[in-house]
Amino acid sequence: MQWSSKTSSSGSDGADFPCSDGGTVYPLSGLPLGQPGESLSGSLPGSFLGRTSWGRESAPIGLFDSGVGGVTVLRELYEQMPHESVVYFGDTARLPYGKRSAEEIIEFAHEILEWMGQQGVKMVIMACNTSSALALEAVQGKYDFPILGLILPGARAAVRNGSRIGVISTEATAKSQAYAQAIAEINAEAQVWQVGCPPFVPLIEGNRIFEAETELIVRDYLAPLLQQQIDTLVYGCTHYPYLEPVLRKILPDSVALIDPASHVVSAAAKELDALGLRSTSQPRPTFFAVSGQPQPFAAMATQMLGYCPQVEQVLLPTLISNVASPLLDAA
């Protein structure tokens, strides 16, 4: 497969574009991952670029999602494994994943995983519940690095907390019954209600979280779960933690919110320890890539990360074949 990339900018002159916090995203120089380049604006303390090759332990962990939702997993990784370098991919040109078929999700996962392999990752976390539900089994064992998903860690955490469990997710994840099946395998006595919430990802990606209409929409989708008197609510999509301020206004205080992000990162740490691949060296700045336009992703990610990421656009093979690439046009 072939990939095409271009640097992020606000115009044809390659000028910097502002993040939502007034910071600046600096376009990448076009250097391959791991080669010297400019430091990030507001990068994490101790992060750096400059080494010319990865050691196996210091190789990056790959994270991917349909968009900015996986940043919730990235934040957990920063917290729990501060010495790990990260490659993040957001498939923003093809979001939302929730209405995609299983065949499409599997195809997208293979494309992203092949690209991740080119970046030299030592592990990949599917920071996307839809991909975890529909593609994980299809891709595990086909690459020379372990691949972890969100469903099982999230299910285990939910069962530890309660027995009347609600799951909010994309339509595809809800239809897959992945959480219900995983929870049943752990505790057959637990009751599970799943609700597909197709408007949630577009609302979050559109930065409409605090609009009055958003609260009305969220209330409507939570109503069936509240009627069942749930004691636990699982974020069945990595975008949904962004909605926590809205959810907390609607849910009783007794309902626990379960974010599978923290639990999949804990599982990843144990896996790396078992493989002898935990890094103890200083991490490099996180490499961010998206399949769509970098600017909207950077602006939204800044709100969650507290710093302004530099982002590169990478066109995956099916996007190159379906959409005219500026790079190809210029060739």
**Residues annotated as part of the active site:** 128, 237
Quote the CA–CA distance of 173 and 202 in Å, as a whole number. 16
Which DSSP category does 119 fall into? T
Q: Which pair of structure tokens corresponds to residue 322?
A: 């379906």
Q: What is the dihedral of CA 263, 268, 271, 275, to 10 degrees?
A: -160
First to last CA, the chain: 18
Quote the CA–CA distance of 23 and 41 in Å, as a whole number. 8
Q: Which pair of structure tokens corresponds to residue 267?
A: 């599982």
Asked whether the beta carbons of 218 and 250 are under 8 A apart, the reply is yes
β-partners of residue 287 are: 87
Q: Which pair of structure tokens corresponds to residue 94?
A: 């093809």
Q: How far is CA 184 from the centre of its chain?
A: 26
Which DSSP category does 228 fall into? T
Asked whether the beta carbons of 75 and 44 are under 8 A apart, the reply is no
Residues in contact with 201: Cβ distance below 8 Å, sequence separation at least 6, in sequence order: 66, 67, 69, 95, 96, 98, 170, 237, 239
Q: How far is CA 73 from the centre of its chain?
A: 6
